[in-house]
Structure 1
Amino acid sequence: MSVSIVMLVGMAVLYACGVYLLLEKSMTRVLVGFLLIGNATNLLLLIMAGEAGLAPIVDGDVDPADFTDPLPQILSLTAIVITFAVSAFLMALIYRSWRLEQEDDLEVDEEDVAIGTRQARVTEVVLDESGDTEFGTRATTAIAGAAVLDAEDDDATRPAPDDATDAEGRRG
């Protein structure tokens, strides 16, 4: 069995372009990147199928080695359905984003960045190793350490309440 080099190169180019487009901030480019990856996956499954053979439903005496493996065909159909469903969902998200913001670019959310850095600091907390069970003192130390870090972050980043807001930060 020989695999076409053109098909392999085409599949590699589709994967590379798809991953590059998935990393962009434009939602339309993310959609196109996902579609390219879906097509590259279908091409990969086509390459995996090998040479063409007979259908598994044949009358008469046929050597089973002459049959085509139906598994890559089933996987290809499944990949097509999944790509269609996810691309329809992404198109709905793009449409909704366009209707709300009149732009296609995603912005960096400061709260997400703050949560990510807070979680990184929580994992750096040294835990007490004296507990011998999973739910012993070790678990309570981890929870207490997280509460201390949350209290420090909330005090440092919470703006002072002004006259227009109550203690919860709601305008009233």
Structure 2
Amino acid sequence: MEEIIATAIGALAASGVWLVLRPRTYQVIMGLCLLSYAVNLFIFSMGSLFIGKEPIIREGIKQDLLHYTDPLPQALVLTAIVIGFAMTALFLVVLLAARGLTGTDHVDGGEKQP
């Protein structure tokens, strides 16, 4: 399970970095989205990857302290998803405004390139 999550995080991060380095603004925005997904998966995986375990340790019940699911990373990822959605919407509005003003969608805002 850990190998699959690590591979997914690596693939998302690599794709995100590649897209961030592209010259067009839409590709940069998609790269930032992929990077945020990679970071969200990384934070989520830090809370332990156990299925069917208690999210919080209760007193009076003997449990192994190493085999419980931490709810804090789940809350952080949920908050990051909401903030990421709002930032993506803001970036798209800025992209449309910049394209309308400059007539190009290149990151540098310079001349139109083929």
Q: Does 2:89 match 1:91?
A: no
The answer on whether the counterparts of 1:41 and 1:79 sit within 8 Å (CA) in structure 2 is no
1:54 correspondence with 2:61: no
Aligned-partner SS, 2:17: helix
Mapped contact 2:102–2:109 kept (Cα < 8 A):
no
The residue that corresponds to 2:13 in the other structure is 15
- Once residues 96 and 11 of structure 1 are traced to their aligned partners in structure 2, the CA distance between those partners, rounded to angstroms, is 32
Distance 1:24 1:105 in 2: 9
Cα distance change of structure 1 residues 93 and 108 upon mapping to structure 2, 3 Å threshold: closer
Distance (Å, rounded) in 2 between the aligned partners of 1:98 and 1:63: 61
User: What stretches of structure 2 of length at least 5 have no aligned partner?
Assistant: none
Check if 1:80 corresponds to 2:81. Answer: yes
Q: Any idea what SS the aligned residue of 2:4 has?
A: helix
* C-alpha deviation, 1:71, in angstroms: 1.4
Identity of aligned residues (%): 30
Aligned-pair RMSD on alpha carbons? 2.3
Read off the aligned partner of 1:11 and give its amino acid letter: I
Q: Secondary structure at the match of 1:49?
A: coil
CA contact (8 A) 2:29 2:91 kept: yes
The equivalent position to 1:30 in structure 2, one of 28, 31, 35, is: 28
Q: Which residue type is aligned with residue 56 of structure 1? A: I
Structure 2 CA distance, aligned partners of 1:97 and 1:75?
32
| Mapped partners of 2:82, 2:57: distance in 1 | 25
Residue 25 of structure 1 aligns to a residue whose secondary structure is coil
Gap runs ≥5 in structure 1: 110-172
Matches within 5 A, 1:150-165: none
- 1: CA distance, partners of 2:22 / 2:104: 14
